[in-house]
Structure 1
Amino acid sequence: MKLQNFFQLAFTFLFAALVLVSCKDDEDDTTKAPVAAFTFSPSSPRVGETVTFSNTSTDAETFVWSATDAAFSSTEANPTFAFTTEGDVQVTLTASGDGGSNAVTQTITVLGEDAPIPPVVTYPSNYTEGTDAATSRASVIVASDANGVGENDITWTNDKVWVLDGFVFVNDGQTLTIEAGTVIKGKSGQGENASALVVARGGKVIAEGTATEGIVFTAEADDLNGNLGADENGLWGGLIILGKSGLNSTPGESAIEGIPTTESRGLYGGSDDSDNSGVYRYISVRHGGTLIGAGNEINGVTFGGVGSGTIVEHIEVYANQDDGFEWFGGTVNSKYLIATACGDDAFDYDEGYRGNVQFGLIYQREDAGDRGGEHDGGTDPEDGTPYALPQFYNITSIGNPSSRTITFRDNAGGEYHNSVFANYSKGVDIEFLASGESSYKRFQAGDLKLMNNTFVEVAGNDAAVMFTVATVEGKEPTDAELAEAEAEVLASFEANGNAVGSLGITRSNVVPTEAGGETSTPSNSFFTTTDYRGAFAVGSTPWYTGWTATEAFVQ
């Protein structure tokens, strides 16, 4: 019996030893894939000048260097070389290890012997040079800092990827210039660890992209070749612009949502309605909207008290977790706005926004998105002045089977002219309170208008449920008052030139095949007079072509 127990015990120890060896072998088999990366100096060498390559690859043991200049090749970890011909040279480093191989390519511009010496770039202390893993391009990480983007004005150039690490501010008195074709990325993180570019009151950004060289704000994981889908959002923060224009809330300045209230640079509002926060043209903001608190996410682009001196044209928000654009008070005007695949509302305003918007595309996912427009007049108090009275002309708004076209509430006014709304299950609702000011009162006063718009497959194409009056529990008008209001709002549908139609617009084709009928002529010189409804002229090439993620998504 004892001998049998001995053999059983020996077998148990032997089995345990084999398991431990097996587990150890499994651990040893876990290897990391190498990541190739390098820097070089000087950044713009002359012909014949020695270039020193610094290898920053990880998890690699062997290295192969090659270039379009065939004279350069090496297997050293950190080689040096002097190029003999001026011009652009593509240098590739292939790093190999037990986990495989990885390659990265960078462009070196070799200057002629007599070329002027380029200035030495000295970055602020919160800037760190490196390599962007997703694109294998040279990068500069910009960390959150009391000095904002630096102690002085600075330019972010298009030869590098600029990575936001935390809330990076353009401080009062600073100007950040962003070259056309530049890529800015935000690191992932939530709450206090979120990343965003914030233009504080008194700061300016001059970001003038073009239709062929747009400026892209996106997540750090984006390889810019479609690896992130329209449902991948909340991967970083967004673009927040704050100004000194007036609000209708008390005490006249507020802390912007999305930034901790302890940060004084997050305040907006004032008394300068012509305030200038810079120039923003041909910018795409993608995959943002990270969570900063319970139910509180950052919008794609946030305007807080931004003044009419600011230029905003050709801006796209794509795949944002929260709203596309939100205006908190202010008077900023905008043309050519796009809100595509946003998780909440597309166009949202509050606190007495009274600017103008023309040529806008709202394009919701079929399975996500709330309202095309969520429009609030005031917050505290709701009937504060100045009233929210913005004007929207030539909007094309494509919804989904569970979303609402527009909500007007909290005493919001506003106007929509020459626009097209399609594929919403619910129409437009206007809030009516038993006493005091409300959006219905703005409608009665002529401050809320919907004129010369076309509705395509909205609310079952039934005007009776397309234009409705909404109430608030505990503040309802009498049944007679509500019936009268509903009749008045419904009558305005046809009386103001609105119609049910098609215009040839579908989810896969947002460009109309017909103009749609009578159009409103704007009185404000900001607007361009058009003879068509919607954001695009009949048979035209969409103005989002060449610089947006929307172009590939609309199909």
Structure 2
Amino acid sequence: MKNKILSVVALSALALASCKKDNLSSKTGFGAHNTKASYAAAAAMPHKTVTGVQSGNLYFDRDTVYVLQGLVVLTATHNITIESGTFITGLPDADNKPGTLVITRGAQIFANGTSSAPIVFTSPKLVGSATGTPHAGDWGGVIVLGKAHVNAGQKTIEGLALTQPFDNYYGPVSGVTTDNDNSGTITYVRIEFPGYILSADNEINGLTLGGVGSGTTLNHIQVSYSADDSFEFFGGSVSPSYLVSVAADDDNFDFDNGYNGTLQYALAVADFNSTHSRQTNGNSDSNGIESDNNAPAEDGTFTLTPKTHPVLRNLTIVGTESTNSGYLYAARIRRGSEVEIHSSIIMGYPNGINFDGTSSFFTSGVSKVEDSFVHGFTSFVLPSTLTLSSTNATSTDANSNFDAALSQPFYNNGYSSLDFSVTGSSIVPAGAGAFATSTWTTGWTLFGGF
């Protein structure tokens, strides 16, 4: 089967900046890993259990492993500060609610790791709070709620029961939108083996962001082995950078309800052995990017405003080396969502970019794909009749070895290392991809080796 490539504007053979080669552990299945020494050291530290709705500020120091038992909630006017190098994990409470950190509207998180001492949220099986092999969904995740715009009005956040003894809503407060709302800072943080599925379409992701405002700082964050999405944005205007998604069991980046920030410099790598926990009518629905304007129940015409309109710059989205029926689209833009994709590399999915199966929601000059390389085993863009006239896009048949020619981008498929550098034979436009200007994953990320 021929591969299809979209290469927009300039086709270049320039080699781009190289990403650090990361050694991977040998893995026999999705989520099966060896133990890394730093986790063993954390397991030997004192453990402190934290639970419930907090009546004051919290401070987590690096000399203690903190165990979130059930929902740990910071309410308005309260904050949590986490030292660099701190390990945090989660366990279910007596009601089987997963260990989860919730930052509500008006609360703040200050999780400031460093490249040499990142903050690590991880499986309890890796730090001595539980036994067994770590897997996706071993604990809940991190949820941050803010006061920025949401096109369906204030909503309760997914993944938690509708009724809670705390403010479970995100978005405008009493009709007042605060788009520059500041929920704090998360930087140099890894979130590993999270995810919890309460019911269909009601899941905790690795990092869930509801109505989070532009005053919030999010950068250098890795989510690995999430049982649902790695990163999901419900409305809001926060603009994160330097994000890594590894082996998500559903989508890497998901946008909903009017999100319109800018995401720049991000890497997403699919796992060949993913179990694809998210199912729709018995079929998996795993995408590199998924974007909806709103849910059908909120408005069947998908015209709520402001429109979901993520601006995506310098992304590298990598699927698998061969067709895997569990994966669908590198980018699924549906239900009225708009999108801009600039200077990005998208490859390794059965289909590249799907505009909702119809061109009715694609408006040339509003949704854009520019200066990018987009590959699909079957189609690089759907519907096949769609003309990306705003970019004068052209398509070219490619060889099975991918004309994107990244040195070795495929994860958990018999390879011992990862290398996302662009080779000299590539037709990728100059300046495209996550590592066009720097190697920013060094030191704080982890690809295997647990």
Normalized against structure 1, the TM-score is what? 0.63
3-state SS of paired residue (1:550):
coil
Determine if contact 1:181/1:213 at 8 Å carries over to the other structure.
Answer: yes
Mark the CA change 1:194 to 1:545 in structure 2 (over 3 Å): closer, same or farther: same
Hey, what's the Cα distance between the residues in 2 that align with 1:205 and 1:504? 37
Determine if contact 1:191/1:291 at 8 Å carries over to the other structure.
Answer: no
C-alpha displacement of 1:546? 1.6
> Which amino acid is 1:374 matched to?
E
Work out whether 1:548 is the aligned partner of 2:449.
no
Determine if contact 2:364/2:388 at 8 Å carries over to the other structure.
Answer: no
Counterpart selection for 2:392 from 483, 495, 501 = 495
C-alpha displacement of 1:221? 1.4
* Deviation larger for 261-270 or 543-552: 543-552
Hey, what's the Cα distance between the residues in 2 that align with 1:498 and 1:397? 19
Matches within 5 A, 1:90-489: 135-145=43-53, 148=54, 151-188=55-92, 192-223=96-127, 232-249=135-152, 252-263=153-164, 264-270=166-172, 271-294=177-200, 296-368=202-274, 370-379=286-295, 380-381=298-299, 382-400=302-320, 401-402=323-324, 403=327, 404-431=329-356, 440-456=359-375, 458-460=376-378, 465-469=379-383, 486-487=384-385, 489=386
Determine if contact 1:247/1:352 at 8 Å carries over to the other structure.
Answer: yes
Work out whether 1:511 is the aligned partner of 2:421.
yes
**Structure 2, unaligned stretches of length 5 or more?**
1-39, 277-285, 411-417
C-alpha displacement of 1:254? 0.3
Determine if contact 1:299/1:326 at 8 Å carries over to the other structure.
Answer: yes
Considering Cα pairs closer than 8 Å and 6+ residues apart, tell me whether 1 or 2 has the greater RCO.
Answer: 2
Hey, what's the Cα distance between the residues in 2 that align with 1:517 and 1:493? 20
C-alpha displacement of 1:510? 1.4
Determine if contact 1:512/1:537 at 8 Å carries over to the other structure.
Answer: no
Hey, what's the Cα distance between the residues in 2 that align with 1:272 and 1:498? 43
Hey, what's the Cα distance between the residues in 1 that align with 2:216 and 2:84? 18
Determine if contact 1:306/1:329 at 8 Å carries over to the other structure.
Answer: yes
Hey, what's the Cα distance between the residues in 1 that align with 2:360 and 2:309? 13
3-state SS of paired residue (1:219):
coil
Matching residue of 1:76: none
Hey, what's the Cα distance between the residues in 2 that align with 1:182 and 1:212? 12
Determine if contact 1:134/1:221 at 8 Å carries over to the other structure.
Answer: no
Aligned length: 372
3-state SS of paired residue (1:137):
coil
> Which amino acid is 1:513 matched to?
T
C-alpha displacement of 1:228? 7.8
C-alpha displacement of 1:223? 3.3
Determine if contact 1:328/1:351 at 8 Å carries over to the other structure.
Answer: yes
Mark the CA change 1:243 to 1:177 in structure 2 (over 3 Å): closer, same or farther: same
3-state SS of paired residue (2:167):
helix
Determine if contact 2:355/2:361 at 8 Å carries over to the other structure.
Answer: no
> Which amino acid is 1:266 matched to?
N
Query: Higher helix proportion, which one?
Result: 1
3-state SS of paired residue (2:244):
strand
Hey, what's the Cα distance between the residues in 1 that align with 2:251 and 2:360? 24
C-alpha displacement of 1:405? 0.8
Matching residue of 2:16: none
**Structure 1, unaligned stretches of length 5 or more?**
1-131, 434-439, 470-485, 520-530
C-alpha displacement of 1:198? 0.5
C-alpha displacement of 1:320? 0.6
Mark the CA change 1:228 to 1:362 in structure 2 (over 3 Å): closer, same or farther: farther
> Which amino acid is 1:536 matched to?
F
Mark the CA change 1:189 to 1:153 in structure 2 (over 3 Å): closer, same or farther: closer
C-alpha displacement of 1:153? 2.3
Hey, what's the Cα distance between the residues in 1 that align with 2:245 and 2:94? 23
User: Which has more radius of gyration?
Assistant: 1
Hey, what's the Cα distance between the residues in 1 that align with 2:132 and 2:369? 37
**How big is each residue's C-alpha offset from its partner over 1:337-360, in whole Å with a ceiling of 9 and x where there is no partner?**
111011001110110110000010
Determine if contact 2:182/2:212 at 8 Å carries over to the other structure.
Answer: yes
* Deviation larger for 277-286 or 441-450: 441-450
> Which amino acid is 2:380 matched to?
M
Hey, what's the Cα distance between the residues in 2 that align with 1:426 and 1:389? 21
Hey, what's the Cα distance between the residues in 1 that align with 2:303 and 2:101? 32
Hey, what's the Cα distance between the residues in 1 that align with 2:214 and 2:138? 31
Matches within 5 A, 1:8-47: none
Hey, what's the Cα distance between the residues in 2 that align with 1:219 and 1:518? 38
Hey, what's the Cα distance between the residues in 2 that align with 1:190 and 1:413? 43
> Which amino acid is 1:259 matched to?
L
> Which amino acid is 2:157 matched to?
I
Normalized against structure 2, the TM-score is what? 0.77
Determine if contact 1:307/1:332 at 8 Å carries over to the other structure.
Answer: yes
C-alpha displacement of 1:455? 3.1
Mark the CA change 1:166 to 1:491 in structure 2 (over 3 Å): closer, same or farther: closer
Hey, what's the Cα distance between the residues in 1 that align with 2:289 and 2:425? 23
Determine if contact 2:346/2:352 at 8 Å carries over to the other structure.
Answer: no
> Which amino acid is 1:240 matched to?
I
